[in-house]
Chains A and B, each alone.
Chain A
């Protein structure tokens, strides 16, 4: 069955370190998204991609970067982790076809920056 996975599921890192969160989908979807979820804010869009080599900034992109070298993967990198980046991170994908653009979410990565 097609799926979307994230790794690691839990990560503790120190302030200033570079961290990369992986997202891999086997739906063959063109569109991929990264969100962070914090209490009281809901899901906020960090970066998104509509195809290989396409990346775009979302609402809260400062301090994050992504690259899309193939259809399946959209890794999220925190260049220099800050305590404000402690959050739960969700990756999502959609096929971009049809009218619904339903997004399928990965299980999430809980990141703690100490």
Chain B
């Protein structure tokens, strides 16, 4: 079974709007990562947030982590058509940072 569960499964917004995606996980983690995948191709690492961090920014991306609720959110501000992709949250196996468990992903469509 998959550790991470993203919500919603699909999101459609207008260019310029903000997109918020959520991820919940089951076990304790020391970091959580978000990835983007375009058209079923390779995954691109977006951002990693450590368990002792609550919020992290990278360009138009803002990630939050709430370890008490075992949840994370990814906010993309001022979305662009090029942001259209699938987004996945991933958490490492217990004691094995380099082995990841992924959720099913969120399909984001940004309309021009």
Are these two chains actual partners, yes or no? no
Using a CB–CB cutoff of 8 Å, the interface residues on chain A facing chain B are: none
Using a CB–CB cutoff of 8 Å, the interface residues on chain B facing chain A are: none
